[in-house]
Amino acid sequence: MNYIKKHGYLYLSTKRFFVSLLCILLVFHSIPSGITSGSFLEFTGSMLVIVTFCILLCIPEYLYSKKSSEDLWIKWIECHSAQKQQDRLKRALVYHELIPLKIDTAARCGKFASQTSKKRYRTTLRSCTCPDFKKRKLPCKHMYYLADQCNLHIPNSINTL
């Protein structure tokens, strides 16, 4: 189980990471040009826009890191008893039909490899980038696996069946 880590640091999705990186590069690019052009207002204005954009991008990740696992998982409390959800639960915890690459139980996020393609899925207790979650907006097998690793109680889980 060497893929299970407990770093607890805030990690951004790839998209957010690259947008943030782009913002940082823009800031550093605008500093010399702002100083040389002498237009202080224009320079400060563009800096403010970039910094605000950066903060807005990081807010959802920050809020996620501040909430307890139970608070994050409670959103799904109503749906676990449905047969389709129980099937997903079994696929995750009984048949182990998934390939975990990295599980961070402190940050409550994980990375899984697709079983059918070379894709990688980023999973949190709130969402997953896999096609199943994108389509149904209900916990997928990756999310159940992550929840189990975070010691969350899943009602009607395989233990009580």
92 near Zn ion, rule: CB under 5 A = no
3-class secondary-structure state, position 112: strand
Q: Which is nearer to Zn ion, 54 or 112 (CB)?
A: 112
92, 107, 128, 150: which one contacts Zn ion (CB under 5 A)? 128
142 near Zn ion, rule: CB under 5 A = yes
147 near Zn ion, rule: CB under 5 A = no
Q: Which is nearer to Zn ion, 50 or 122 (CB)?
A: 122
Q: How far apart are CA 102 and CA 100, in angstroms?
A: 6
Tell me which stretch binds Zn ion (CB under 5 A): 35-43, 85-93, 124-132, 146-154: 124-132
Task: Report the 10 Å Cβ neighbour count for 89.
Answer: 23
Instruction: Supply the DSSP string of 95-131, one letter for each residue.
Output: S--SEEEEEETTTTEEEEE-SSSS-EEEEESS-B-SH
3-class secondary-structure state, position 107: coil
Q: Are 34 and 57 in contact (CB under 8 A)?
A: no
103 near Zn ion, rule: CB under 5 A = no
Size of the site for Zn ion (CB under 5 A): 5
Q: Which stretches of the chain bind Zn ion, using CB under 5 A?
A: 128, 130, 133, 140, 142
